[in-house]
Amino acid sequence: MKKTLSLILVLLMVLTLASCGEGGKETPDNTSPDVTEFADVTNVTKKPDENQQGDSSDVSFPYVIETLEYTLYTNIFYNKTGDDFIGMEMTKTGTFAKIRDQFNEVDRYYVWGYYDETKCCDWQWEFVPENPADLPPIGSFVKMTGTFEKNEAALDGYWFVDTSLTVEEEYITDKFDVDMSSMSGTLLRVQIVNLQQFKEYFEGKTVRAYGRVIGTDAIQHPYYDSTFEQAIVCDKALPPIDTYIVVSGTYKDGKIADATYQITTYY
């Protein structure tokens, strides 16, 4: 049963790759890369916050945009070339994220980034930290080096082990039990599904999420319709439909309750 539930999460991750070809958006050439050429992408450039300057409640995590990294990611997980990279040591630079996978009752750790400036498509590499207690705040800009491994315990079947993590820039923000504000759109969707499937586990936890307004009391995925809907209970009326917001509150009965929100252009 647990393995069947895990397959749901894997499918959610893969569906994002297929979705990126929709809506007339340009996608990379997903031909199989040469392993030596694509193993390490070294020309990543950090994107600082250009839109928001303010207190710690503002969303302004550093991120990267790297097309070659996305090409490698899609080839491994969509074109199934992952076995070509087993045992290779690679370095990945991007935003640090953690999700709670309650299907498997584990925390999962990622380095992620965007494909291009539209931010509709993303890549994320799962890794096993040497010491989870020593990890930086989520949303920090990090460089992870590790060995690529095939393992059934990894959400997508592959992850990095024997890892080292260097913090390039620490991200300071308000603390939540489940903070999705610095997750990629794909990881956001996976975390929302966990919340909705395991309401009792997440009951009473403080959460922060982002998305597009779809009505008077809900948000959805920032780019892809109907991939999730998250109900919100807020004393203040939500802004117009399709407005991007960051929502903070407490998870109660499957809803983000006692919620406050910020309109954002960061995603």
User: Cα(186)–Cα(189) distance, rounded to whole angstroms?
Assistant: 5
Q: 135 and 14 in one domain?
A: yes
Contact 14, 77 (CB under 8 A): yes
Model pLDDT, residue 8 = 56
- Calculate mean pLDDT across residues 45-73: 71
Query: What's the CATH number where 194 sits?
Result: 2.40.50.140
Q: What is the pLDDT of residue 6?
A: 53
Residue ranges making up the domain that contains 184: 178-263
- The answer as to whether 54 is a domain residue is no
Q: What is the pLDDT of residues 203-214, one digit of tens each?
A: 999 999 999 999
Q: How many domains does the chain have?
A: 2
Domain of 142, CATH number, reads: 2.40.50
Structural domain ending residue among the three candidates 169, 200, 216 = 169
55 belongs to a structural domain: no
Question: 195 and 111, same structural domain?
Answer: no
Write out pLDDT tens, residues 162-183.
999 999 999 988 999 999 999 9
Looking at the predicted structure, is the pLDDT value of residue 59 above 90?
Answer: no
Residues 124 and 250 in one domain: no
Residue 108 lies in a domain: yes
Of the pLDDT bands very low, low, confident and very high (cuts 50, 70, 90), residue 23 is very low
The string over 105-114, giving b where at least 16 C-beta atoms fall within 10 Å of a residue's C-beta and e elsewhere, is eeebbbbbbb
Domain-ending residue, one of 115, 135, 169:
169
